[in-house]
Structure 1
Amino acid sequence: MRPAAAAPPPPEPSGYRNDNFRSPTPATLQGARVVTTEEAEALWRAGVLFVDVMPRPPRPATLPAGTIWRDPPHESIPHAHWLANTGLGALAPETEAYFRDTLDHLTGGDRGRPLVFFCLRNCWMSWNAAKRALSYGYRRVIWFPDGADGWSDAALPLERLQPVKP
């Protein structure tokens, strides 16, 4: 019996993805360069800025009052900058200001500096974040759709990150 063919990637939407973030992503992002794990590794070795946009797990609502909550460890690409919760389709004004200001700080205000955005494979959050960076005027936006999953699958190093403080 012949295996079923993989479904083609979905088309790019005109706006941001606002739900079902862990699902197949487009193969492209207009205005951005899309890279494989091998290409991402070369960029990483060259010192290009990597931006991880995975969300930070919230404190469980059912946790009894007074219980100490510790965030689970976040394994990511070494030296990446974790801008937690910035890949959602709609950002609160404070989160959008944090994202915009932190990108400006990381790049020294250079909108031509390359930036690699990632999260996990089949995760729209990095697609949203890269699209948003393009809307801010960044001209060398790179989207790494396989993200930390592809990095780990290639037996490349990971390290624990903490979110970049506002």
Structure 2
Amino acid sequence: MGAGAEGIEANRLNDVNFAKDHKAMSRAGWMRSGAGLFTACLMLLGSQACAQHAHIDPASGYRISHYRAVVPDTAPGATRVGTQEVEEFFKEGKVAFIDVLPSTGAGFDPNTGQWRLSETHANIPGSKWLPDVGRGNPDAVLDRYFALNLKAVTGGDKSGAILIYCKADCWMAWNAVKRAAGYGYTNIYWYPDGIDGWAEWDNPTAPAVPVPVTVVSE
């Protein structure tokens, strides 16, 4: 198994079923976060806020587990938009739509780059589906995959408009927005209602087809 596949498998063990709530973090995870920090969090913010905090990597700021949960009101480096704005973007055709719903299945084939899916889904027509790029700790292969595809849809213009979405209450999109901002993109729209909000208003959908991963021979 190649390094890319191993990274995907490790992530998959951490998040076997995206649609279900994850169990509480392991004792080791809590210890890494620091008992003192958690105690301080309880005193300042309360138990619910600290439960959310426990799933955030304190070093990177990315959500690393329990990806299906209530998201913040804002995302770093992005403008939050609702369905009405997204409908306008869709009609105008000037914004690149990026679907970051994670894959379900065996990940991508390290030899061909094709995604091995056990489930499919629908997304906003014209979207680029880039699975797993919203994970909190993607390996170098997925990080490169995301960066290259953003470059492709914007023509290398980091001021080009991109819209990132997933499902409702999806930290994958929040993470992906933060990552794109870290690459230097300055015109990012975040659609937290995602495909759920889009479909709720009877907007058109299309079968999602994942963009293959470019396999680099060593």
Task: State which structure, 1 or 2, has the greater radius of gyration over its C-alpha atoms.
Answer: 2
Instruction: Extract unaligned runs of 5+ from structure 2.
Output: 1-47, 107-115, 214-218
Alignment of 1:86-165 (within 5 A): 86-165=133-212
- Give the aligned partner of residue 22 of structure 1: 68
Percent identical across equivalent pairs?
A: 38
The AA in structure 1 aligned to 2:66 is N
1:55 aligns with 2:102: yes
Q: Residue 70 of structure 1: CA displacement?
A: 5.7
Change (3 A) 1:70 1:86: closer
Contact 2:105 2:119 in 1 (8 A): no
Q: 2:92 & 2:70 partners in 1: Cα distance?
A: 29
The AA in structure 1 aligned to 2:61 is G
Give the aligned CA root-mean-square deviation in angstroms: 2.1
Q: 2:105 & 2:117 partners in 1: Cα distance?
A: 10
Contact 2:80 2:190 in 1 (8 A): yes
- Note the alpha carbon deviations across 1:10-38, whole angstroms, 9 max, x for none: 79x77111111000000111321000011
Q: Residue 106 of structure 1: CA displacement?
A: 1.3
The AA in structure 2 aligned to 1:101 is L
The AA in structure 2 aligned to 1:94 is V
The 3-state SS of whatever aligns with 1:33 is strand
Query: TM-score normalised to the size of structure 2?
Result: 0.64
Instruction: Extract unaligned runs of 5+ from structure 1.
Output: 1-6, 60-68
The AA in structure 2 aligned to 1:16 is Y
Q: Which moved more, 1:116-125 or 1:22-31?
A: 22-31
The 3-state SS of whatever aligns with 1:73 is coil
- Give the aligned partner of residue 84 of structure 2: 38
Change (3 A) 1:27 1:70: closer
Query: TM-score normalised to the size of structure 1?
Result: 0.84
The 3-state SS of whatever aligns with 1:85 is coil
Give 1 or 2: higher helix fraction: 2
Q: 1:84 & 1:161 partners in 2: Cα distance?
A: 10
Q: Residue 154 of structure 1: CA displacement?
A: 0.8
The AA in structure 2 aligned to 1:28 is T
Change (3 A) 1:112 1:18: same
